Structure formats: structure tokens, C-alpha cells
Amino acid sequence: MTTTLEYAKWEELTEGAEHELTVGPITRTDLVRYAGASGDFNPNHHDEIYAIRAGFDKPFAHGMLQGGYLARLLSEWLGPGSFKNLKLRFNALTWPGDMVICKARVVRQYEEAEQKLVEIEANAMNQRGDVLIKATATAAPWS
């Protein structure tokens, strides 16, 4: 059996606590694999000619690929199945060759109806500092 990850402790998840994950460089193979896993076969994400005709320089990543990386950061930090909600706002495109740098921060730690909860603000940026996604989440941390 594989060992379970260690998640952040409640005492560590005070306001301002941060966590990071860097993924990349993103490859065209990542885009094709995500298309297969997610069922999103929009040709802008794999068909060079289609993407160029649609006004892009080349195929670009699905917003939900970076969204998936952000969710991975939060899930591996706070614990699996701990989310109450997750909201992603897509801001800029990710191109093959780009890095996806995900950062998350606790903005509120509180108790409500005997549940220990945290509110999180997170974003994903590329290596040029462009914000790709802004995210918020509420979670009941694992430990």
C-alpha cells in the first residue's frame, strides 16, 4: 500500500499560511492527455491549424488543466475531500513551454456549526508573472 500524504495541521492553517506548487514546462502531450482524461476535445487545444484560424498563435492549454493543478495544490495541502466549494476565474491562456506556478494562502480560519473551516485565496501564474487563474475555496481541513 502506498503511504498517505501528510496534510497541514489545523494549528498551521492560521491566516496568512501559504503553500505552493510549480508544474511545467507544460507540453503538448500534457494537453492531449488532459483532453483524453477530461473529454474536452475542443480543437483549440490540439489542432494547430484550427487554433491559428481561430486567431491564436498555436494550441493552448485547457483552463481546467491549470484549474486541476490549483485544486491539486489545495487538496494535497488541506486533505482529500475537504473542499466545500472551489471557484476558478480564468484570466490568461497557458501556452506549451509555460510554467504554472500555483500559490495559495489562508485568508480566514474559523469555526461554524462545530466545523473547523478555512477560506483560501489562490492563484496560478506563469513564469512571466501573468495571472492565469484566480481562485477561492472553503475547506474543512483534514487534520
Partner 1 sequence: MPLDKSVLERNFPEFEFRVERGKIREYALVLGLNDPVHTDVEAARAAGFEDLLAPPTFVRQFWHENPENDPMPHLGYDPKRRLHGEQEFEYHKPLVAGMNLKGRNAIVSTREKEGRRGGMMTFVVIETRFVDEAGELVQVARRTLIETAAPPKEA
**Residues near partner 1, by CB under 8 A:** 1-5, 23, 30, 33-34, 36-40, 42, 53-55, 63-65, 67-69, 71-72, 74-76, 80-81, 83-90
Q: Could you tell me which of 12, 127, 141, 20 has the C-alpha nearest to residue 70? A: 20
Between residues 14 and 42, which has the closer beta carbon with respect to partner 1?
A: 42
Backbone φ and ψ for 44, nearest 5 degrees, come out as -60, -20
CB of 3 to partner 1, least distance (A): 7
Between residues 8 and 65, which has the closer beta carbon with respect to partner 1?
A: 65
Q: What is the CA radius of gyration of the chain?
A: 17
CB of 5 to partner 1, least distance (A): 5
**Rounded Cα gap, residues 37 and 67, in angstroms:** 14
- Cβ-contact 80, 74 below 8 angstroms: no
CB of 99 to partner 1, least distance (A): 14
